[in-house]
Structures are given as C-alpha cells and as structure tokens.
Chains A and B, each alone.
Chain A
Amino acid sequence: MDVVFEYRGQLIDGTIVTIGLALSSLLLSVICGLIGAFMKLSESRILQKIGNLYTTLVRGVPDLVLMMLLFYGGQQLINDFGYWTGLWDYIDINQFISGVFTLGFIFGAYMTETFRGAILAIPKGQIEAATAAGMNPGLIFRRVTWPQMVRFALPSFTNNWLVLIKSTALVSVIGLHDLVWNAFAAGRSVRMLFTFMIAVLIVYLLITATSDFFLRWMDRKYSAGVRRA
C-alpha cells in the first residue's frame, strides 16, 4: 500500500474527475427525468409516445455502447453538420462531455420512471384544491408537487445515484482520465494492478457509503411530519 500512497496525487485527481462527472451527469439526468416524466404524464399522445420511446431505448441499449456511439459518432455527426451548414468550424467533443451527456441521457430515463411514480403518488385532490385556489401550473409545481415529489422520489433517486456513481467507471474506457484510468496507468507502470484496483474499489465504496449516509439524512429531513410504520 506504500506504492499507492506514493501515487496519491494521481488518485485524488482522478477521484475529483469521477465525482465531478457524476455530479454533472446527475444534474443533467434530473433535467432529462423531469422532462421525460412530464412527457409521459401529459395529455398528448405524441409526447407520451416519445417518452415511452426514450425509456425503451435506454432499457434496450447498454451504456457503454451509447457512450462510444456518442464519442466517436456524435463528434463526426456534429462536425459534418457544421461543415454542411457552415454554422461552426470544428467542435471537439471530449471524453468528459460525452460521458456527461451519455450518463445524463441514460439516467434521465431512470429518473423519468422515478419522478413519474412520485408524481402519481401525490393525491389528485391536492392538485385540484390548488387549482381551485387559483394557482397557475408553475405555482402548483413549486408549492404542491415538488416538495412532496422529492419525498416520494428519494428512495429510488438514491438507488439511481448509486448506480450512476458506479457507471462513471465506464468513461475510463473511452479514455477520460478518471479514477479508474489513473489508477490503471499507475498500477501498470509499477506492475501492481491488483493493489491499485483494490484501492479504486475502496474509493468507490467510500463514495457510495458517504452518499448513502447523506441521502438517508435528506430522507429524514424531507419526511419530517410523516408518520412512519
């Protein structure tokens, strides 16, 4: 373990990249999830169809495949499009951006189901009461739907976040210098990959344990005043 300590700089840098990636994709996935949930719950048949298509696509395709498609294919598509329309010259999609977009897109679909379930769990009478009191849809969302939705969504949200953290490891395959990549490079140079991989596993365990603890605290906070069985 002394060797791992020598390389701590690289490992810490990698961990920061991993956490940054995870948090950025979480933000994007929440946005995608909210949009998806409202599409699935909307009155319009077309929006419902698009929402269903979204979740079915994500259910059917592994994350690494989408990531590689975006990283290699998306780059070419955007640049071909820019060349064709003359709007932009050359855009470089780096590993971080394609990682954030893919993970955000994929976990957006999981969040869609989470939020949809949470919105459906809110009694309809409350929305009707809010409408009757003269609130507009934005105000209803802010004052009635959102605070309760968070509580209903938290368990499944926690789950999604824990899966997301673990999925960030895949971005090292397309070459992002995250925790796994850095540890792999370091471990290979000193021919001690087992030790370094164990170190990576421990860092991941620490991250998941910390976020588990934190989200439990959030759960308690948001369920204040709710009777528990």
Chain B
Amino acid sequence: MEQERTFLEYLRDVSENSSPLDFYLIYDNIDRFFMGAWITIEITFLSLFLGGLLCIPLAIARAYKTPYLNGPIWCFTYFFRGTPLLVQTYLFYFGLGQFEWVRESFLWGPVLSSAWWCVLIAFTLNTAAYTTEFLRGAIESTPWGEIEASKASGMSPWTRMRRIVLPSSFRRALPAYSNEVIFMVHGSVVASTVTLQDLLGVGRWLNGRYYLAYEGFITAMVFYMCIVFMISKGFKFAENRWLGHLRQRDTSLDEADEPVLIAIR
C-alpha cells in the first residue's frame, strides 16, 4: 500500500509539473482502456473466426470453379474487397433501418439495431471476402504431385480435401493471413464510429470529456501497438512451428527477421 501511494504521488507530481501528458489521468482511466482493448480484441477475433469458417467453403467453390457458385462468390469478394470497411459498416448499422420490413422483423430488436452485431456482421463479411481470395490462391497452388499421390493411395475426394489439400493450403496461406489479422485490428477502429466503446472509442471519450488533445489517442496508440506486437510474435511462432520445413536455411549475415509491411487489400 505504501509502495503504491508513493508511486501515485510520483505520477501526479510528474503529470502536474514536468510532463506535457497527464499520466495520472491515464492511470485513473486505465481500466476503461482495458475494457476498450477487450472489445477491440473480441470483435476482431470473433469476426476473424466466423469469417474464417465462412471462407473455407467459398474458397473451395472458387478454386474448383463450381458452376453457379463461382460467379456469385466472385461478385461477393469483389464487392467487399473493392469498397471501404467504413462504408460497409455504415451500410449495415445506419442503412438497414431504412426498410420497413427489416424494422418489423424479429431480428431487429436483438440483432440488427445493435451496433455490436452490425459491426460483427460487416467485419465478418469483409474478412471472409479477403480470406476467400487468398485461400483460393493457396488451394490452386497445391503441388499436383500431392494430389496425384493422394489419388494413387485411394483417397476419396472428401478425404483428399480434408487431409491433403486444406492442411497444406492453410500452411501456405499463413504468412498472408498474419497480414490479414493485423489489418483487421487496424480496421476495427471503424467500430468506434458507430458508438462502440473500443480502444479508440475510449480514447475519444477521454479526450472529449477532459478536453484534451493527446492523452486518449496516445494511450490507445500504445495499446494498439502492444496488440499488434503480440499478434506478430504469435504468427512468427506459428510459422516456425508449421512452416519450418519450407524455411530457407539462413545463410545471409544481416538479420532479415523484421516483419515486412505489406498492404494486402
């Protein structure tokens, strides 16, 4: 207790006298920031999970050019990949209320009138569209020898898909997927524009309430950086674990383990 009080006094002293940022205020509201971080993470990962489930059948249908399905799925992915996530979210949150039949349907009360659900739906469809396209690429680039070998050992198409094609495609899609996850974290700030209290939402709230310019945004920035850092570390671990057999033996002297920044959209 004594320790904490001296720390707080120190923090208050620094904030009042020598620092342009009010650290004490940030410390006071840190629990709200953790709540915001939780909402950001919850929305991001839930939509990634649901989008990931949705994209597997879509990607298979696209990769094998299934008649009647390929065209519509292409339209879906082209539409969601060619337009901003912000407008897609507005379309669901603000747009759906335009229709009488939506407002009177049983879904309106619990689902379609709540910001949380609309954001989840928009994010899920968005990430599903992107993931479908690069999973399709990964499925199409399955080495033909693997398919031949599985046919020769008598696997049915279903077993072949489940045991050969999908696992190796997932592995090949992993580096692109790490970019997608980070882009979803970046994209999740859109949630704060439709009244959700995610990390940026909390930052905006703090700045608005105390009439500040930096504190809320800088704290949110630090939180986002931590989240992205942890995700990058996680993916690096996963790539070492599941892509170890594809890694080139490191012969160069300079370190090349910096994650390369690639815009995937």
B220: chain A residues within 8 A (beta carbon): 65
- Name the interface size band of chain A: 35 or more
Check: A69 CB closer than 8 A to any chain B CB.
Answer: yes
Q: How far is the CB of A41 from chain B (nearest CB, A)?
A: 11
- Tell me the residues in window 62-120 of chain A with beta carbons closer than 8 Å to chain B beta carbons: 62-66, 68-69, 72-73, 75-77, 107, 109-110, 112-113, 117
**B221 contacts chain A at the CB level, 8 A cutoff:** yes
Asked if A148 is an interface residue, CB under 8 A from chain B, the answer is no
Instruction: Write the A158-176 contact mask toward B (1 if CB under 8 angstroms, else 0).
Output: 0110110011111011000
Smallest CB separation, A2 vs chain B (Å): 15
Query: Is A201 touching B85 in the complex (CB atoms < 8 A)?
Result: no
Asked if residues A167 and B224 are in contact (CB atoms below 8 Å), the reply is: no
Q: How far is the CA of A73 from the CA of B88 in the complex (A)?
A: 28
How near does chain A come to B189, taking the closest CB pair, in angstroms? 4
Residue-wise, chain B 180-213 has the 8 Å CB interface mask toward A (1 for contact) of 0010011111101100000010011001000001
- B75 CB to closest chain A CB (Å) equals 11
Contact with A along B72-97 (1 / 0, CB 8 A): 00000011001111111011001111
Interface membership of B152, Cβ < 8 A: no
Contacts of A52 in B (CB 8 A): 258
Contacts of A66 in B (CB 8 A): 221
Q: Report Cα–Cα, A68/B193, bound state, in Å.
A: 12
Q: A192-B98, A193-B95 are in contact. Are A55 and B261 (CB under 8 A)?
A: yes
Question: Beyond A65-B189, A201-B83, is A162–B265 a contact (Cβ under 8 Å)?
Answer: yes
Contact between A209 and B225 (Cβ–Cβ < 8 Å)?
A: no
Within 8 A of B (CB), among A148-192: 156, 159-160, 162-163, 166-170, 172-173, 180, 184, 187-188, 191-192
Docked-complex contact A64 and B189, CB < 8 angstroms = yes
Q: Give the distance to chain A from B51, nearest Cβ to Cβ, in Å.
A: 17
Instruction: Check B265–A163 contact: CB distance below 8 A.
Output: yes
Known: A65-B221, A201-B79, A201-B87. A59 touches B213 (CB 8 A): no
CB proximity of A19 to chain B, nearest CB, Å: 14
The answer for the CA separation of A62 and B220 in the assembled complex, in Å, is 10
When C-beta atoms are compared, the residue in chain B nearest to A188 turns out to be B94
A152 → chain B closest CB, angstroms? 15
Whole-angstrom CA separation of A88 from B84 in the bound complex: 38
Q: Is the CB of B87 within 8 A of A59?
A: no
Task: Report the nearest A residue to B182, measured CB to CB.
Answer: A59
Q: Which residues of B contact A39 (CB under 8 A)?
A: none
Chain B residues, CB < 8 A from A173: 86, 193
Q: Mark B220-232, 1 if CB is under 8 A from A, else 0.
A: 1100110011001
Expressed in whole angstroms, the minimum distance between the Cβ of B19 and any Cβ of chain A is: 14
B221 and A61 within 8 A (CB): yes
A172 and B97 CA atoms in complex are apart in Å by 21
Q: Is the CB of B87 within 8 A of A60?
A: no
Question: Does the CB pair B221–A191 fall under 8 Å?
Answer: no
Residues of B within 8 Å of A55, CB to CB, are: 258, 261
A11 to B261 alpha-carbon distance, docked (Å): 34
Q: Choose among B188, B214, B229 the residue that contacts A69 (Cβ–Cβ < 8 A).
A: B214
Cα A56 to Cα B232 in complex, Å, equals 11
B225 touches A62 (CB 8 A): no
- CB of A61 within 8 A of CB of B87, answer no
User: Is A200 located at the chain interface by the 8 A CB criterion?
Assistant: yes
Closest beta carbon of chain A to B230's beta carbon, Å: 11
**A58 within 8 Å of B (CB atoms):** yes
Shortest A55–chain B CB gap in Å is 5
The reply to whether the CB of B246 lies closer than 8 angstroms to some CB of chain A is no
Q: How far is the CB of B130 from chain A (nearest CB, A)?
A: 11
List chain A residues, Cβ under 8 A from B187: 62
Instruction: Indicate if B262 sits at the interface (CB-CB under 8 A).
Output: yes
Contact of B87 among A69, A72, A180, A192 (CB under 8 A): A180
Q: Are B200 and A64 in contact (CB under 8 A)?
A: yes
Q: Which residues of A contact B207 (CB under 8 A)?
A: 72
Cross-chain pairs A/B with CB under 8 angstroms, 5 sampled: A56-B258, A62-B185, A72-B207, A163-B263, A180-B87
A interface with B by C-beta (< 8 Å): 52, 55-66, 68-69, 72-73, 75-77, 107, 109-110, 112-113, 117, 156, 159-160, 162-163, 166-170, 172-173, 180, 184, 187-188, 191-195, 197-198, 200-201, 204-205, 208-209
Q: Which positions in B face A, CB cutoff 8 Å?
A: 78-79, 82-88, 90-91, 94-99, 182, 185-190, 192-193, 200, 203-204, 207, 213-214, 217-218, 220-221, 224-225, 228-229, 232, 258-265
Q: Which 4 A-B pairs have the closest CB atoms?
A: A194-B95, A169-B84, A60-B225, A62-B186
